[in-house]
A and B are shown apart, each in its own frame.
Chain A
Amino acid sequence: MLPCFSLQLNHAEMAAAARPLVTVQSLESDMATDATGIPLPSVMKASIRPDIVNFVHSNISKNSRQPYAVSRKAGHQTSAESWGTGRAVSRIPRVAGGGTHRAGQGAFGNMCRGGRMFAPTRIWRRWHRKINVNQKRYAVVSAIAASAVPSLVMARGHRIENVPELPLVVNDSIEGVEKTKNAISVLKQVGAFSDVEKAKDSVSIRPGKGKMRNRRYIGRKGPLIVYGNEGVKLVKAFRNIPGVEIANVDRLNLLKLAPGGHVGRFIIWTKSAFEKLDSIYGSFEKTSEKKKGYVLPRAKMENADLARIINSDEVQSVVRPIKKEVKRATMKKNPLKNLNTMLRLNPYAKTAKRMAVLAEEQRKKAKKEKLDSKRKPVSKEESAKIKAASKSWYKTMISDSDYAEFDVFTKWLGVSQ
């Protein structure tokens, strides 16, 4: 169960509170009435379901079809027999006999000239469709509700820029209009004439074979005039105006309310028709008087205004604040190449590196010094020192060694002790 928001009134309150008044347009010849208006009938608050309307419309429009079929005997009025094999012809049945072109021609098959078609159309095809009564009513109710929304009526293509109010309710005096001339002037007063003009200008010859089949002209739909009382004169006055259609409230036709399956026909109501709507369709709680036990369909969402719901106190107070800064994926950097990422991972690396650098410098320095000292030419004192040192070392070596046959060597070396 959804929590009940404070801005969503429950049914009873909503019915009473949100029933705006619709003013009745008066025609020129009327006496000025007190312009209070009629409260909007609940039908116009029903949920608008273009999907249901489309479905029901497509099914209902199948109901006025007349069957068509190919003749049952077509293609079979021959006594053809196959010649069998061995005659160098294909094996389809061929017309028997002789003396005419027809003899020996193929017959019976859908591929043969003059044969029966594939799957001959039959009259017992299921032409009509049954639709559940509730669905039909839902569709009608939806279509009526949609006709009260100016955006939808405009979207369907009607010219309602100059209409003083939607839904358009006209005083009952319109029911007494007898001449078409007056009917047109009434439409002009009410602001509906541009729609009629659009319909009149749009009359053209139908493309296609329909024009030879008694459906020669097509044109746009204009306003639909709904009246409340029987035997009213306006029917005859308005029916000859191109685009204009008339209907009685008691017998509203979905095919007229949503032509082509598209919701939002421009409807002109008479006052008595408008008042009857409540009793015919009932309200969301009250069952209808004319349709036994029927109650208007409930919407999936009572309050469909998303913007208002989202911005309401109830929702905003519980919602977390917007995250303005977007956390984006960081680029991976190689620690072995990038010092900072290495340090992020291993802080000791800094000192280790430093130590390594310093050690390297020491090594370099030491090597350089060594090389320099080696490459430097030896000074006289040093070389003398070196020579003296080597002599004395040799002497010590001799004296240390205690070699007995030293006499032999003295001759060789020529060294005098």
Chain B
Amino acid sequence: MTTVPGQLVWEIVKKNNSFLVKEFGNGTQSVQFSKEPNNLYNLNSYKHSGLANKKTVTIQPAGKEQAVLLATTKTKKQSKPASLLNKSILKKEFNRMAKAVVNQVASNYYRPDLKKAALARLSAVNRSLKVSKSGVKKKNRQVSRVYGRK
């Protein structure tokens, strides 16, 4: 196990990695996203990076409907990718899930700077699960006539 510090890894990885997505614009105007699973905002930045940090949080849909997977990385097992994550599946209603997320991320001082990001991602994932469950909104093709006064 080599404890290569996050700063070093970030310097190597920030410009060039397989998860990097540069979109919407030319040169300095574009946003840089990052597709790795441990990134809460999917932004390519040191703070949010899932590659360069020892402690990361990830929130993802967990397959079954309305179930969200919350996972944090264990700091001691950095070189064992298979057993890196503390996974837990959240299935309750939203408020309970939010509380659980806050507990895991901020209240135990794990990564208090990611609290907002974690909650934001949780609500986004939750919403997407709701949408996937009920199907994408079908737009009524026919123009609806408004019957009213002429």
Contact = CB atoms under 8 A, between A and B. Distances in A.
Q: Do A and B come from one complex?
A: yes
Contact of A50 (B6, B12, B51): B12
Contacts of B51: 151-152, 154-155
Contacts of B86: none
B36 A154 contact: yes
Given A40-B1, A48-B4, A305-B5, A151 B79 contact: no
Nearest to B16: A262
Chain B, interface SS category: loop
Interface string A144-157: 01101111101111
A155 B8 contact: no
Nearest to B8: A304
A186 to B, nearest CB: 16
B94 interface: no
A309 B6 CA distance: 13
A162 B36 contact: no
B5 A307 contact: yes
Nearest to A161: B81
Given A50-B12, A155-B13, A155-B19, A164 B5 contact: no
Interface of A: 18, 20, 22, 40, 44-45, 48, 50, 145-146, 148-152, 154-157, 160-167, 191, 262-263, 303-308
Contacts of B83: 164
Contacts of B19: 155
B17 A150 contact: no
A304 B5 contact: yes
Interface string B77-115: 011111110000000000000000000000000000000
Given A151-B51, A165-B80, 5 more contacts: A149-B2, A155-B12, A155-B19, A162-B81, A163-B80
Q: What 9 A-B pairs are tightest by C-beta distance, nearest first?
A: A157-B18, A305-B5, A155-B17, A151-B51, A20-B1, A155-B13, A304-B8, A165-B80, A164-B82
Contacts of A167: 79
Interface of B: 1-9, 12-13, 16-19, 36, 51-52, 78-84
Chain A, interface SS category: loop
A22 B2 CA distance: 11
B9 A151 contact: yes
B8 A166 contact: no
9 contacts: A20-B79, A148-B2, A151-B9, A152-B9, A161-B82, A166-B1, A167-B79, A304-B4, A307-B7
A160 B52 CA distance: 16
B7 A150 contact: no
A356 to B, nearest CB: 60
A304 B7 contact: yes
B22 to A, nearest CB: 15
A20 B79 CA distance: 11
A40 B2 contact: yes
A20 B76 CA distance: 12
Contacts of B9: 149, 151-152
**Centre residue among A148, A151, A191, A307 by max chain B CB count within 10 A:** A151
Nearest to B9: A151
Nearest to B51: A151
Contacts of A303: 5
